[in-house]
Structure 1
Amino acid sequence: MKRAVLCVLDGFGAGAMEDVSAVRPQDRNANTMRHVIEQTSVKIPFLSRLGLPHILNDPSLLALTPPLASYGKCNLYHYGADSYTGHNEIMGAKPIMPKTQFIRELAPLIEKRLVERGFKVEYPVAGTGILLVDNEVVIADNMENDPGQIINITGALDTTPFEKIFEIGKIVRTIAETSRVIPLGGTGITVSDILLNIVIKPERTGVDMGRLNIYNENYQVRHLGFGIDPDKQIHSILMKQGLEVYLYGKMADVITGEVMERNPMVNSQGVMDLICNRLENMKSGFISATIQETDLAGHEQNPEKFAAVLEIADAGLRRIYDMLHPGELLIVTADHGNDPTIGTSQHTRETTPLLVCVKGSPARELGLRTTLADVAATIADYFGVSAPEFGTSVLS
C-alpha cells in the first residue's frame, strides 16, 4: 500500500529560463524564489530541510543542510508561462502550441455562434470586441496571463447560475484556439460591477479580476483547455488501476477527468487541511494539490503576501511529511514563475523547483529537467503503473 502527495506552489519560480531573451525578454531578471527570500523575512524551515537551499544555491540567503529530498529544477516545455498548461504538463500532458487570439478578432464568430443557439448578444464597450450575453455574462480577454492565450467568460452567480456561464464557455471553446477558455463566476457582484472593472489596453481588453474581488469562498471556475487528453495523464492512469485520486486547490479546477474527489479551495490553510484530513483515512492513493495564493500575491506584486503564503505552505508540508510512512512519496514543485518584484503583474517564464522525497531514502541531485511532466512520470514509476504520454521518472 502506497501513498503519494504532490504539492504545487503556484508561481514559485526558480529563475528565468535560458530562452527568455529570445521569447520573453521582459522575464530576463525574474527569479521569484530568490527575490521573495531576499526582500522579506520569510521563514520556511521545512522547505529548507527538504532541500530548497540546494536549488537556490546561495548560503547567504538559505543555509545549506543535508536535504531530505532529491532536488533539482524543471524547465517549462510549454510555450509561455501558463497555469493551466503548466498544471496539465505536471500531470503528464505533452503541450501543443495554441494560437494567440484576442476577443476583437473572435467576437464576430462567437456572436454568430451564440445567436444561432438562441442567445442575445450585445457590444457593451464600443470598439473593444467585448460581448455581453443575455445582459448577464461578459466575454473578454483575460488580463492576468499571457496576452492572447485566454478568453474569460464572467458572470455574477447571485443572478446567473454557473451552468449557464459554463454552457456559454463551451460554445466559445468551439471557436477559440487559445490555450484556455475560462468560464467563471462569483457572488457579491453584479453584471454592472463586471463592466465597471473592464480595462482597455492597446492589445487586449478584459475584466480586472483583482479589482472585481471575485476570488471568495463562492468562486466557481472551469478551465477548458486546448489539446489536453486526460486519459493520458497520471490521475486517470491511477484511477483506471483502482487507486484513489484526490485533487485539491487550483488542481481541481484545471485538471479534468474522473477522480474520487475534487475541491477547488483557494485558501491556503484550507488546502493543507484538506490534504492532512484525507491522509488520516487514506491507506493508498494519490493527492495532488495547488497552493494558489502565492500566484495571486505575484499578480498583486506583493512579496510580503507571497512570503506569508509560503509560510503557511511550509508548515503544512511539515504536517504532511510527518503523516507519511517510510517509503511514501512527497513532491513539491511549481507551474511557472510570478516574480512580484520586477514590475510586472504577469506570470514569468522561469524554471521551477523540484523536490522529490521518498521518505527515509537518500537524497541526490536531479539536475535541470526538460519538462514538468517528469513529475507525472515519477509518480507513475513510484506506483508501478503505465507512464503518462510525456516525461521521464527521476526515480530510476
Structure 2
Amino acid sequence: MKKNKRIILMVMDSVGLGALEDAADYGDQGAATLQHIAAEIGGLKLPNLEKLGLGKIEEVEGLNAEIKAEGAYGKAAEKSKGKDTTTGHWEIAGLISETPFPTYPTGFPAEIMEQFHQAIGRESLANKPASGTVIIEELGAEHLKTAKPIVYTSADSVFQIAAHEDVIPVAELYDYCKKAREILQGEHAVARVIARPFVGEPGNFERTERRKDFSLTPPEPTILDQLKSANLEVNAVGKITYIFNHSGITDSVTTANNMEGVDQTLNYLDTTKKGLIFTNLVDFDQNYGHRRNVEGYAEALKQFDQRLPEIKAKMEADDLLIITADHGCDPTYQGTDHTREYVPILAYGKNVPADFNLGIRASFSDIAASIADYFDLDVKIEGQSLNLV
C-alpha cells in the first residue's frame, strides 16, 4: 500500500452541469447550474478551472472548450435516489443510497412535534418549509417575545432549529438538536438536524458561524472509514465531518465561508503527511443557489478560481487534486431547491495524464474507487476507478 501520497478532494457545493436523465422525476428537467449562470451574466471568466478542463465537459459561455487541459476532466451522474447534500457526499465516498431521505413539504407531523416539545419543555414556531434568512425575519420578533424556537425545513431532508443566541444559548440549542436527532429515527430519519443560531434585532437579524449539523451515521463503511483503518489521515474541512457524523474522520475544522475553506485546505497541505484532505465549499449552495443570487454565485466561482494556483503550488509530486460537486442548485431555475444534475470531475497532479477525457461516469462513487486505487487499498468499493495513474 502506498502511503506517501495525498489527495485533495474539493466539493464545490451545488455546482451542477446539467439535468440528469431522470431529472423530470424530481421536477428538475432543464436545470443546468453552471451553464445558466454563465448565460445570465454574459459568460464566466474562470481561467484556472478552464485550464483544468471545465469548459471541455459541457459548453459553458466564456470557457474555452479547445484548450488542452492540464489534467483529466469529465462528469458524473448521481446513482443514489435523491439530490441532497448528504446523499451526494455519501455517494462520493462510495455509498449508494437506494432509498431517499424523508422530506416534509407541509411540515413535520404532529406526533413528531409533540415529542419534540415534550423533550425540550416548550412549544415552537413555524414548522414549515422556508428559507433560513426569511423565516427569522418573519418570526424573529415573535421568537424574542415568546422564547419559542423556530422549527423549519426545506426541500432537503432537514429539521432546522433557529434561535437567537440571547434567548436560547447556543449550548441549549445544540441540546435541542440532540433531542430532535433522537426522535427523528426510522421512517422519520431526516439526513440532518441543524442548529441555526442568530443574533441582531428585528429587521437586522444575522445568522452566526455557530451553526452545527447533527447527521445520521452512514449505514455502511465509506472510503473514509477504509482510509482511517489503513492508518491514513482523513482531514475534513467545512461541514464534511458533520455530513458523515464524524465517521472515518481523523481531524476536522469547520469554516465560515468558501475562502476560509480554501485557507484551511492550504493549512492541511502544510501538515498532512499521507491521506485525504476532504473539503466542502458551501457558499455556492447556501448563500447563492438557494437564494437565487446569480451574480453572487458567479463571483464566488471567480474567487475560488483565483485561489487554485495557491493549492497547486503546495502540491507535491505524488499529490492528486480532485474537484467535483454533490448536486446542482440552479439559481435561475424555479423555486429554491437543489436540482438533480450531473457534477463535474476535474483531476490534476503531476502523474495525471494531460487532456484526459474521463467521459460520463455512471456514479459519483467512481471518485471513491479512484481514491482506493490511488492508495492501493484492497477494499470493495462501489464504482469504477478513474484510472488517473
Common topology (TM > 0.5): yes
2:162 to 154, 172, 194: 154
Letter of the 1:28 partner, please give it: Q
* 2:272 counterpart SS class: coil
**In structure 2, C-alpha distance between the alignment counterparts of 1:127 and 1:268, rounded to whole Å:** 29
User: Does the CA contact (< 8 Å) of 2:45 and 2:63 recur in 1?
Assistant: no
Q: 1:390 to 1:185 in 2, by over 3 A?
A: same
Match of 1:53 in 2: 55
Identity within the alignment, %: 27
* 1:122 counterpart SS class: coil
Match of 2:347 in 1: 356
* 1:17 counterpart SS class: coil
Match of 2:361 in 1: 369
2:288 to 297, 321, 327: 297
* 2:199 counterpart SS class: coil
How far the C-alpha of 1:75 sits from its partner, in A, is 0.7
Match of 1:232 in 2: 221
Q: 1:359 to 1:271 in 2, by over 3 A?
A: same
Spell out, residue by residue over 1:258-317, the C-alpha distance to the aligned partner (whole angstroms, 9 max, x if none): 423212213111111111121123222210001111112111111111111111211222
Match of 1:243 in 2: 232
Match of 1:262 in 2: 252
Letter of the 2:121 partner, please give it: K
2:266 to 270, 276, 279: 276
* 1:321 counterpart SS class: helix
Q: Work out whether 1:16 is the aligned partner of 2:19.
A: yes
* 1:65 counterpart SS class: coil
How far the C-alpha of 1:320 sits from its partner, in A, is 1.1
Match of 1:308 in 2: 299
Match of 1:203 in 2: none
1:43 to 35, 42, 45: 45
* 2:48 counterpart SS class: helix
* 2:88 counterpart SS class: helix
* 1:183 counterpart SS class: strand
Superposition pairs of residues 327-342 of structure 1, within 5 angstroms: 327-342=318-333
Q: 1:30 to 1:112 in 2, by over 3 A?
A: closer
* 1:318 counterpart SS class: helix
**In structure 2, C-alpha distance between the alignment counterparts of 1:88 and 1:16, rounded to whole Å:** 20
RMSD (CA atoms): 2.9
User: Does the CA contact (< 8 Å) of 2:107 and 2:127 recur in 1?
Assistant: no
In structure 1, stretches of 5+ residues that fail to align are 197-210
Spell out, residue by residue over 1:140-162, the C-alpha distance to the aligned partner (whole angstroms, 9 max, x if none): 3x13x34xx33223333443314
**In structure 1, C-alpha distance between the alignment counterparts of 2:330 and 2:92, rounded to whole Å:** 20
Q: 1:86 to 1:64 in 2, by over 3 A?
A: same
**In structure 1, C-alpha distance between the alignment counterparts of 2:332 and 2:297, rounded to whole Å:** 11
How far the C-alpha of 1:189 sits from its partner, in A, is 5.4
In structure 2, stretches of 5+ residues that fail to align are 130-142
* 2:368 counterpart SS class: helix
Letter of the 1:154 partner, please give it: A
How far the C-alpha of 1:165 sits from its partner, in A, is 2.5
Q: Work out whether 1:188 is the aligned partner of 2:199.
A: yes
How far the C-alpha of 1:248 sits from its partner, in A, is 0.6
**In structure 2, C-alpha distance between the alignment counterparts of 1:293 and 1:86, rounded to whole Å:** 16
1:71 to 67, 70, 73: 73
* 1:350 counterpart SS class: coil
Q: 1:176 to 1:169 in 2, by over 3 A?
A: farther
Spell out, residue by residue over 1:167-213, the C-alpha distance to the aligned partner (whole angstroms, 9 max, x if none): 222223236525423131324158xx7xx9xxxxxxxxxxxxxx964
Q: Work out whether 1:29 is the aligned partner of 2:39.
A: no
**In structure 1, C-alpha distance between the alignment counterparts of 2:380 and 2:211, rounded to whole Å:** 29
TM-score using structure 1 length:
0.82
Match of 2:110 in 1: 107
Match of 1:169 in 2: 180
How far the C-alpha of 1:252 sits from its partner, in A, is 3.0
